[in-house]
């Protein structure tokens, strides 16, 4: 495997992008920042897949492609099985001695939104992980079905106003808690499951490289701040992402072999959850007398989760 | 193939990002690649911009924050140095300016029609800017 030098950002900046501009993603879209950090983490050949969603729709607009490497899209639900099929074929051809360049170690990676991952494509992902394909699944978690106009998904957090859970006089928005996809994927016994955020590039690239070096299915849950649906200005994508990681709304950790949990980032000064919520239009209704208790409840949930993660880490289970 | 409409292309046809043989794109920078007409790189999104980032080289410390966080591959860095903005692919989001840590910033946003020479000549001086933590 050829590892890109990522000791520091200067070294990393010598890598050549294999994802191209003039795609149709919104200005300031974090999906693209995540894709760059994943692709640039390796010099190996890449075979990519995608489920339907903003990334797929905006980067393969006939007659153009924004991908400089092999790339496949079939449907919303099967980005995972599309790439698992490619991986299985590669393995079979290798075993039969029919590969022209048998020494290459291409990486099989697929991207899906939270809608495609937490909800509609879940069965396919579960199958791929159970079969143990040598692939990386990257969830671009923007907590909403962005591409079709902002419907809630099972990743949408409590209190967010989405088009199918609108906030108003009688509702504070989404009422169900975000699904714990990390625990679910770890429960498959996957060798490596990690949560990342593109603003913490070093942590993210290290996890992606670790994932590439591991044999078997790897799951990466990547926070993707969505300027359009979270309702913040496009230039603030990194600032909002920083608020998410510094407030521990989005903790960064990894789970090895289904059980061993490591926290990989500890903020020096933990910010209040209120700061994160207040920076986004999707939570603006919470800052009223009627719904302010939702913010307090949210802070308690974040505190409890952080406590839980630390205990898991200490106990080495 | 690019001359065919979406409903005319043959099942199983492939859109090729490059014309001719390409050995290993992971080590070839854009200026040395033979892009095909069906690579989105061959198209410009310059007309999406209302504002554009301008770059004042002398203030830059080559930290590469702008390079890593630009969503549109539009910060051109070569040999560990930031050398400019790719105005064909920049969508004018302003992230590069937000993450630039110098005082004054080496990147600032201006209206799309602003004159680069004039703006560079009257770039803010030290006291007027605040450092952004990153
Ligand atoms: C089976 C199926 N159901 C619904 C759709 C319509 N659809 C296309 S993209 C999309 C939303 C994707 O949301 P997500 O996976 O979160 O990705 P995002 O756009 O947010 O990145 C939906 C509902 C579809 N293409 N196929
Ligand atoms: S809607 Fe959100 S996820 Fe989709 S392209 Fe725009 S910013 Fe990106
Ligand atoms: S304005 Fe946005 S797209 Fe343009 S160079 Fe800066 S970060 Fe990149
Ligand atoms: S962020 Fe600013 S200082 Fe850093 S490389 Fe870019 S222009 Fe130079
Ligand atoms: Mg989504």
Q: Report chain A residues whose CB lies below 8 A from the CB of B86.
A: 21
pTM: 0.96
pLDDT digit string, tens, across residues A10-29: 999 999 999 999 999 999 99
- Position A124 in a domain: yes
B65 and B27 both lie in a single domain = no
- Position B86 in a domain: yes
- Position B4 in a domain: no
Is B54's C-beta closer than 6 angstroms to any atom of ligand 3?
A: no
- Position A24 in a domain: yes
- Position A3 in a domain: no
B94 and B58 both lie in a single domain = yes
Instruction: Establish how many alpha carbons lie within 13 A of residue B123's alpha carbon, considering only the half-sphere containing its beta carbon.
Output: 19
Q: Which ligand is nearest to the CA of A56?
A: 1
- Residue B127's pLDDT is 65
- Position B84 in a domain: yes
- C-alpha to C-alpha distance for A311 and A305, rounded to whole angstroms: 10
- Position B128 in a domain: no
Number of domains in chain B: 2
> Which range marks the domain in which residue B36 is found?
10-43
B86 and B106 both lie in a single domain = yes
Query: Taking all residues of chain B, what is their mean pLDDT, rounded to a whole number?
Result: 91
- Position B127 in a domain: no
- Position A238 in a domain: yes
- Position B53 in a domain: yes
B58 and B109 both lie in a single domain = yes
> Which range marks the domain in which residue A180 is found?
9-315
Q: Looking at per-residue confidence, does A212 or B131 come out higher?
A: A212
Q: Furthest-apart CA pair in chain B: how many Å?
A: 62
CATH number at residue A120: 3.40.50.970
Instruction: Establish how many alpha carbons lie within 13 A of residue A87's alpha carbon, considering only the half-sphere containing its beta carbon.
Output: 25
Ligand 3 atom nearest to CA at B95: 7
**Judged by CB atoms within 8 Å, which residues 115-134 of B form the interface with A?**
none
- Position A37 in a domain: yes
Is A146's C-beta closer than 6 angstroms to any atom of ligand 2?
A: yes
Residue whose CA lies nearest to ligand 4 atom number 4: B63
B109 and B61 both lie in a single domain = yes
Helix (H) or strand (E) holding B53, with range, is: strand B51-55
B54 and B80 both lie in a single domain = yes
| Residue of A18, A32, A37 with shortest CB distance to B72 | A32
- C-alpha to C-alpha distance for A240 and B97, rounded to whole angstroms: 15
B62 and B88 both lie in a single domain = yes
Q: State which of B62, B80, B97, B124 you would mutate to test the pocket of ligand 4, scoring each by most atoms of that ligand within 8 A of its C-beta.
A: B62
CA nearest to B53 within chain A? A235
Q: Report chain A residues whose CB lies below 8 A from the CB of B44.
A: 22
B30 and B58 both lie in a single domain = no
Is A153's C-beta closer than 6 angstroms to any atom of ligand 1?
A: yes
- Position A191 in a domain: yes
Taking only the tens of pLDDT, chain A with its 317 residues reads 466 777 799 999 999 999 999 999 999 999 999 999 999 999 999 999 999 999 999 999 988 999 999 999 999 999 999 999 999 999 999 999 999 999 999 999 999 999 999 999 999 999 999 999 999 999 999 999 999 999 999 999 999 999 999 999 999 999 999 999 999 999 999 999 999 999 999 999 999 999 999 999 999 999 999 999 999 999 999 999 999 999 999 999 999 999 999 999 999 999 999 999 999 999 999 999 999 999 999 999 999 999 999 999 999 87
- Residue B126's pLDDT is 77
Residue whose CA lies nearest to ligand 2 atom number 8: A29
Number of domains in chain A: 1
Q: Which two tokens stand for residue B81?
A: 């140095």
Centre of ligand 4 from the C-alpha of residue B8, in Å: 46
CA distances (Å), origin A298, targets A36, A190, A291, A293: 32, 30, 12, 8
- C-alpha to C-alpha distance for A156 and B76, rounded to whole angstroms: 36
DSSP for A253-264?
Answer: EEEETTTEEEE-
- Position B130 in a domain: no
B58 and B23 both lie in a single domain = no
- C-alpha to C-alpha distance for A72 and A79, rounded to whole angstroms: 8
Instruction: Establish how many alpha carbons lie within 13 A of residue A19's alpha carbon, considering only the half-sphere containing its beta carbon.
Output: 26
- Residue A5's pLDDT is 74
- Residue B10's pLDDT is 76
B83 and B31 both lie in a single domain = no
B15 and B62 both lie in a single domain = no
- Residue A309's pLDDT is 98
- Position B125 in a domain: no
Report ipTM for this prediction. 0.96
A79, A116 Cβ separation under 8 angstroms: yes
Q: Which two tokens stand for residue A26?
A: 């919104």
CATH number at residue B104: 3.30.70.20
Residue with tokens 């960064």: A252
B16 and B79 both lie in a single domain = no
């Amino acid at each position: 495997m050829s590892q890109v030098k990522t000791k520091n950002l200067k070294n990393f900046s010598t890598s050549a992008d294999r994802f191209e501009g003039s795609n149709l993603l919104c200005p300031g879209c974090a999906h693209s920042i995540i894709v760059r950090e994943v692709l640039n983490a390796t010099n190996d050949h890449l075979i990519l897949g995608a489920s339907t969603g903003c990334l797929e729709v905006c980067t393969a607009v006939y007659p153009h492609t924004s991908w400089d490497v092999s790339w496949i899209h079939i449907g919303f639900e099967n980005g995972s099985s599309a790439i698992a099929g490619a991986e299985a074929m590669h393995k079979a051809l290798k075993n039969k001695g029919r590969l022209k360049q048998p020494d290459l170690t291409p990486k099989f990676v697929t991207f899906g939104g939270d809608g495609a991952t937490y909800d509609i494509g879940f069965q396919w992902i579960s199958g791929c992980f159970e079969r143990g394909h040598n692939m990386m699944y990257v969830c671009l978690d923007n907590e909403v079905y962005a591409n079709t106009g902002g419907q809630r998904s099972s990743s949408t957090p409590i209190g967010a106003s989405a088009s199918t859970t609108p906030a108003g006089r009688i509702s504070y928005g989404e009422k169900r808690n975000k699904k714990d996809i990390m625990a679910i994927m770890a429960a498959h016994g996957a060798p490596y499951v990690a949560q990342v955020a593109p603003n913490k590039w070093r942590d993210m690239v290290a996890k992606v490289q670790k994932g590439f070096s591991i044999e078997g299915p790897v799951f990466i849950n990547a926070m993707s701040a969505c300027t359009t649906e979270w309702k913040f200005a496009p230039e603030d994508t990194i600032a909002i992402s920083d608020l998410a990681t510094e407030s521990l709304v989005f903790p960064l950790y990894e789970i090895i072999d289904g059980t061993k949990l490591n926290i990989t980032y500890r903020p020096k000064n933990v910010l209040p959850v209120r700061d994160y919520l207040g920076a986004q239009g999707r939570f603006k209704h919470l800052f009223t007398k009627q719904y302010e208790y939702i913010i307090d409840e949210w802070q308690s949930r974040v505190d409890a989760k952080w406590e839980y993660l630390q205990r898991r880490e200490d106990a080495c289970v | 193939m690019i001359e065919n409409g979406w409903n005319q292309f043959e099942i199983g046809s492939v859109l090729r990002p490059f014309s001719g043989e390409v050995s290993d794109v992971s080590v070839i920078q854009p200026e040395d690649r033979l892009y095909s007409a069906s690579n989105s790189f061959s198209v410009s999104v310059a007309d999406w911009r209302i504002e554009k980032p301008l770059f004042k080289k002398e203030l830059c410390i080559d930290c590469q924050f702008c390079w890593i966080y630009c969503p549109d591959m539009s910060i051109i860095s070569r040999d560990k140095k930031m050398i400019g903005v790719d105005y064909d692919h920049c969508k004018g989001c302003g992230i590069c300016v937000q993450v630039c840590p110098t005082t004054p910033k080496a990147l600032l946003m201006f209206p799309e029609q602003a004159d680069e020479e004039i703006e560079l000549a009257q770039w803010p001086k030290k006291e007027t800017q605040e450092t952004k933590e990153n």
